Every structure is written in structure tokens, then in C-alpha cells.
Amino acid sequence: MVILDGKKISNQIKDEIATEVAQMKERGEKVPHLAAVLVGNDGASLTYVGSKVRSCKRIGFESTLKHLPEETTEAELLQLVKDLNDDPEIDGYIVQLPLPKHIDEQKVLMAVHPDKDVDGFHPTNFGKMALDMETFISATPYGIMELLRRYDVETEGKHAVVIGRSHIVGRPISILMSQKGKAANATVTLCHSRTKNIKELTLQADIVISALGVPHFLKADMVKPGAVIIDVGITRVEDKSAEKGYYITGDVDYENVRKKASFITPVPGGVGPMTIAMLLKNTLLARERHMAKAL
């Protein structure tokens, strides 16, 4: 069994990006600049955004954090989005989800300019991804694909079962895995909460990608020997004995499933760090595209 070490691979990717940034600096070019918009004080969001900003520093990007209070109105947020769209210093930016309930998430994501949408959530970018065109692929599915590629995991002709159909993970990864290319060419089954007999399907799967957010959902008796297991789930489970008062766990019963798997991602240290690395990769791409446009 091989552990798909997202931490190690994400560090390699960050090092590769840092080398490119150093070369940009040497040539006197502007370095990539990522902005993050955070509304409110959700604990998990603060952690994610903090980690993204720290990663920017480490690889030599410029970064800006726009932290707004919970009471920010939709109109105020839309104005900030417009300002970021118009700001030539900013190459790409993300609006950290979830947003407070009084703000229409879709309206905000639609307002992000597709050329700066390094999360790949805008319909233009999602559509391009589905049509196999050059775009920003959203960071989590992009990270899964990159992990499979870098470990040379055979996917061609394999049966991949994806659990979860969200717009940011399940649906895009099901599209990407079914496309032509490396780490793709799979036959994909997409499951969700209305799917009957998930176990019957996962038992047929060569690759299981679990993205539902239910701790330890995928048990050892649901996977066939030799399967590749990708655990996207990140759930905080309350634990008074833990230093932070919680621990992080995935969708997979890791200790038991790993005994049957050929490849498996741990949580933490699997898909999570890859997501950040691919966001940085998208920001570098955004800078390169803006530079090419300006020529």
C-alpha cells in the first residue's frame, strides 16, 4: 500500500512555484499577487485563509487579506469584489466560503471576474473546464488530479466511483476523471445522498473518491482489495481531550481501509495541502496570463 502524501507533493509544487517566482523577480517582473476575502470569523475559514496567506509568503507571492466583519452587507461585499476586479495589482483572488447567510453566495461568485477567479468557481471557468478548455480548474479537484499524476496511478479504463456531487468537489472531479488525458480516461459513477446501494457501487470501484463530509463513511467492507482511495472529507470532530478541542478526520475509516487499498490519501496530509498548492498554481497561471495579455 502506498500513501499518497499530499503534504510532500504539495511542498514539491510550492518549491517549483517558488523557483519560477524567483526567476520572475530576477527578470524584474511583477510577482503574482493573491488576495483573499474573508467575511466573519468562522474558525475553519480563518484557519484556511491563514494557511493560504502563509503559503503565499513562503513562495514569494504578494498577498492581501481583506477581512470584513460578519455584518458586512451584500452590497459592500460586491463593491469590494468590483474593486478587486479593477485593481491591476491583484492577479487573482478568492472569496472564502461559506459566506454569512444574509449574503447571496452565487451572486458574489458570479461577480468575480473570470480572469481573476483562481478558485475556478465562476460558470465561465467551470464551463471551460467541462469543455476541456484552458481555464482555472478549482483547486481541490485539480489537486486530486495532480496527486494521481505525480504518483503515476493508473486511471485509464478504471471504474472511478465519486461520492458527493457538490459544485466544488464531487461534480468537477467526476467530469475531469472522465475526460481524456493523464490521470483521467476513467469510467465514472457519481453518487449522492439519493443513490441506492452505494456499497454495491464502491465494491466495484477501482478508484473511490469520497467527498461527502461524513466521518468514517467509507468502511473496509465497502471497498475491493487493491482499490485506490481518495479521501476529500475534512470534518472537525469535537474532542475535549484534544489541544484545540477538536480533531480533524476524513470520510474514510482509514485504519481499516488502508489494509485493503493499493493507494490511499491520509487526512490530514492528503488532499487538503494539495488544494492550497493548486490555488497557488492557479495564481501563478493568472499572473502569466495577465502578463501575456499586456504584451
Residue 201 within binding range of ligand NAP, rule CB under 6 A: no
* Grid cell in block for residue 231: 479521501
Helices of type H across the chain: 6-26, 43-59, 74-86, 105-111, 123-130, 139-150, 170-178, 198-202, 254-257, 271-294
Residue 272 within binding range of ligand NAP, rule CB under 6 A: yes
Cβ atoms of 212 and 194 within 8 Å: the answer is: no
Helices of type H across 182-230: 198-202
Q: Which of 14, 66, 91, 96 is catalytic?
A: 96
Q: Would the annotation count 234 as a binding residue?
A: yes
SS3 272: helix
- The footprint of ligand NAP on residues 205-244 (CB under 6 A) is 211-214, 232-235
Q: Is 52 a catalytic residue?
A: yes
Residue 7 within binding range of ligand NAP, rule CB under 6 A: no
- 272: exposed, middle or buried (C-beta count within 10 Å: 0-12, 13-18, 19+)? buried
Q: Is 219 a catalytic residue?
A: no
Q: Would the annotation count 210 as a binding residue?
A: no
- Residue of the chain from 59, 168, 201, 205 that contacts ligand NAP (CB under 6 A): 168
* Grid cell in block for residue 63: 498577498
Residue 174 within binding range of ligand NAP, rule CB under 6 A: no
Q: Is 15 a catalytic residue?
A: no
| Whole-angstrom distance, CA of residue 202 vs CA of residue 42 | 34
* Grid cell in block for residue 94: 478568492
Site string for ligand NAP, 70-99 (x = CB under 6 A): ------------------------------
How far apart are CB 267 and ligand NAP at their closest, in Å? 8
Name the site residues for ligand NAP (rule: CB under 6 A).
140, 163-166, 168-170, 191-194, 198, 211-214, 232-235, 271-272, 275
Catalytic residues: 52, 96, 119
Binding-site residue ranges for NADP(+)? 164-166, 234
Residues placed in the known binding site: 164-166, 234
